[in-house]
Amino acid sequence: MAAVPSVIPLLRASVMNYEIVAQAPHHLPKIDCLLDRTFGPDRHGKTVYRLREQAEAIPELSKVALDEDGTLLASLRFWPISIEGAAAKLLGPLTVEPSIQGKGVGRALVRNGLALGKAHGYRLCVVVGEPEYYQPYGFIPAVPRGLVLPGPVDPHRFQVLEMTPGALDGVSGLIGPGVPLAGSKGGLAERVG
Ligand SMILES: CC(C)(COP(=O)(O)OP(=O)(O)OC[C@H]1O[C@@H](n2cnc3c(N)ncnc32)[C@H](O)[C@@H]1OP(=O)(O)O)[C@@H](O)C(=O)NCCC(=O)NCCS
């Protein structure tokens, strides 16, 4: 497994300092509040939540951004999924405190999570989100590649990333819940975000 630091040292932006660290159980209530504020309380009705309900977030890939006082600024989790038997991970939810959006914290979390996922052996990543936000990482539309979610989704927002070239070759079909790849420590005491 490639060496990727599990904790990113304090990043110095022009207007703020923050660090990316492993999500801990005491972060969960604050993450839920932030998700309610940024996505709304009806977020649980989305199809991706059906997949999250059936698995636990991948602990090694569940990160938060904290300011110097330890205040939670942002959160990103990944969930194990399966595409007709092929292991993959589902990105999200990604949420950033509204007062500090647009300062690169979301991008830092996504880059960190994708690098860590690759180091842990994940070859495919699925997201439902803004194409303009995810295309710079290499995400492409998932529907033309034959991927199907188990419920309604805006096809424009449904995307997939080959973390290893050719990882989608021969992989298509219905996405279901998965299990973390070998080497994972197992789930945290949480189920949905
Ligand atoms: C979307 C979100 C996660 C982005 O995080 P962020 O820290 O504000 O974004 P960053 O500062 O890392 O932005 C990186 C780039 O993406 C762009 N961007 C930010 N939000 C975007 C959006 N919703 N759609 C498209 N592009 C977006 C930024 O302009 C920036 O572009 P630049 O590098 O050319 O300047 C954050 O704004 C948020 O939590 N929004 C509410 C929840 C939400 O919509 N989450 C879903 C993500 S699909």
Cβ(38) to ligand 1 under 6 A?
yes
Q: Count how many domains the chain has.
A: 1
> Whose CA is closest to 73, among 97, 99, 49, 102?
97
Q: Determine the Cα–Cα distance for residues 40 and 32; give it in Å rounded to an integer.
A: 10
Our mutation pick for probing the ligand 1 site, out of 107, 127, 153, counting the most ligand atoms within 8 A of Cβ, is 107
Residue 140 lies in a domain: yes
Query: What spacing in Å lies between the alpha carbon of 84 and ligand 1's midpoint?
Result: 31
Does 95 contact ligand 1 (Cβ within 6 A)? yes
Q: How far is CA 2 from CA 6, 130, 152, 180, in A?
A: 12, 30, 37, 17
Residue 192 included in any domain? no
Rounded to 5 degrees, what are φ and ψ at 156?
A: -65, -30
Asked if residue 2 is part of any domain, the answer here is no
Is residue 193 a part of any domain in this protein?
Answer: no
Q: What is the pLDDT of residue 183?
A: 57
Per-residue pLDDT of the chain (193 residues; tens, 9 = 90+): 555 655 666 555 445 799 999 999 999 999 999 999 999 989 999 999 999 998 999 999 999 999 999 999 999 999 999 999 999 999 999 999 999 999 999 999 999 999 999 999 999 999 999 999 999 999 999 999 999 999 999 999 999 999 999 999 999 999 999 988 865 554 433 333 3
> Residue 80 sits in which domain range?
8-187
pTM: 0.88
Q: What CATH number corresponds to the domain at position 123? A: 3.40.630.30
Distance 133 CA to ligand 1 centre (A): 6
